[in-house]
Chain A
Amino acid sequence: MTTSASTIATDESPKVRLWRLAGRVRRARLPWVPITILASILICAAFAELIAPHDPRDIDILKKNIAPGETANHLLGTDILGRDILSRLIFGARTTVIISFVSLAAGAFVGTTLGVISGYKGGWIDALIMRGVDAALGFPTILVAMLIVVFLGAGTINIILAVTLTFWARFARMVRGDVLVIKTLDFVTLARITGVSTPVIMWRHIFPNVINTLTVVSSLLVGQIILLEASLGFLGLGLAPGDPAWGIMVAEGRSVILDVWWLSLFPGLAITIVVLAFNFFGDWLRDTLDPQLQSAQ
């Protein structure tokens, strides 16, 4: 797997880098559909209270199981407890965004730190960390998540923990690969010769050149993170059962699928669309920023 680290890694200041990056992004043709979708999701997540027509937890047994399109009041229908599906979808976006992004950030943080240390220091530290990475990568993610939920209970923090534990390794491996290339470059050698301490080298020289790969890998992994989080929700390992999370909604709809088919259909569709958008966006990002990077495994 090649990286383009050696072709673009530089010793420039952050301002210069940002400027060059902005130039590249500006010149590239933006993928408008994915961006629109992603923007909508983010807006829903941030302003759910303003956008959603109803309170997602508003139970009204009299209004249960209204089909989509029957009333203007409930565009996508209601569920078995009379809650408005559209509103639950919108609030669900918030759950998805929060859990996914936090897990992503945490996993990226842990993974990058370990990857940089491992790649730069080499030796037994590298070997040890890589053993850990191999073991973690080889683990079915749901297994880990289940174990955590068994012992630590359900809840948002634990889901985030579970997802982080399963994804950090992918970051670590990618970043380490990049670091192995970067540390052979002249400006790093120069820093070493002039006596700059290791942590400073890692922070000032190595890390900025890893951001490219990190960004691309993140965008490619978000989709998988969302799917994992939805699966955990579906399996009941997620948050409390009343919560408007997409995975939970699909689970709720399962037992009544014959009559209330919309209950499972829409949240699943939402998940699919969002993951598609992230995948396309990630591909575009990779093609623009780092065409030599092979797709993340």
Chain B
Amino acid sequence: MAIVNEKTWQFGTALDPIAHINYNAYDATFELTASKAWLHIKNALISVPSSPWIVLGSNNGVTYGIDGVDRWNTQTDLKWNSTSIRSWMLLKQPGIASNFQLLIQCHISPNNYYGRITLVISPADGFTGGNTVDRPTATDELVVKNSGTYIAGTSANARIVLHVAVSSDGECTRILVGLNGYATSFCILDKPKNPEAGWVNPFVFGWPNAISAGQHCAEYVDCYDVAVFKGWINGSSAPFYLGTLAYGANAIGQVIATRNTQLNEWEVYPIWLCSLTSGVLGTKGQLYDVWWGTVSGSIAMGDYLMQAGVITHVAFFQLVFPFGDVIPVMAV
């Protein structure tokens, strides 16, 4: 199946259209690396030219407020802790839902585990409250990471490279994290394609990560065999498998080891959001512009696809994402 994007993708700003990919977040300490990474992610999200994320409020450990002020100006504005002062950032993306909000809190546990983060979503009601220690809360909030891992590893500094992309309509946000040439983690935060009828404020979120620094996470065994993505369907948390075309006991991409004979190109396969959880059972929608690739050893992490001489997509191990016209870097 040929790769055709349905969205227009933004990888940078008007001044530097590919400014948000191949970003080296590595710094002298793990704390500095984590702060550099999240400062970049926030900056990338709010600076794409079309439908950027909007800052609703922030906390830099000294002052806080849901007042539209971005207090994350430098790495030192990100304070990390398990119980005491912890910075947070509140962002809004109307492209997903009219008042869709994402809260990022530098909440880690234990205190030297900078590969962890707390992420909370409010699809409609919005966050209120908060201070320099506690994060704001929302009546409809969904905690998608509670001091959860966003890169492989725990307390050891990591040479991570970041790739942030936002669709021009704001419906889709993707963050890819490479570590020593491995697909160590990735984030999809999207409004699904063709959401099931009746699904109010549909969204899907997932940030799977590898277990260790020498492993990939963007594999069939991580996201096709396991329901690691989530939606929030009318009050119920819905774990999603990233389903795709299959026959027999495998996805096609797991068994095809060669190119499509006639087209002389590697195939990619669209993705459905499938839930086997009681109460939210069913096929709930699709994902835009991300595909399962092939397991074949002929495709390596960071390989890229070209169309008309331009790099358009990257093989983030076994998943394929839109990419800017620059050779992907997956290791610092």
Partners in one complex: no
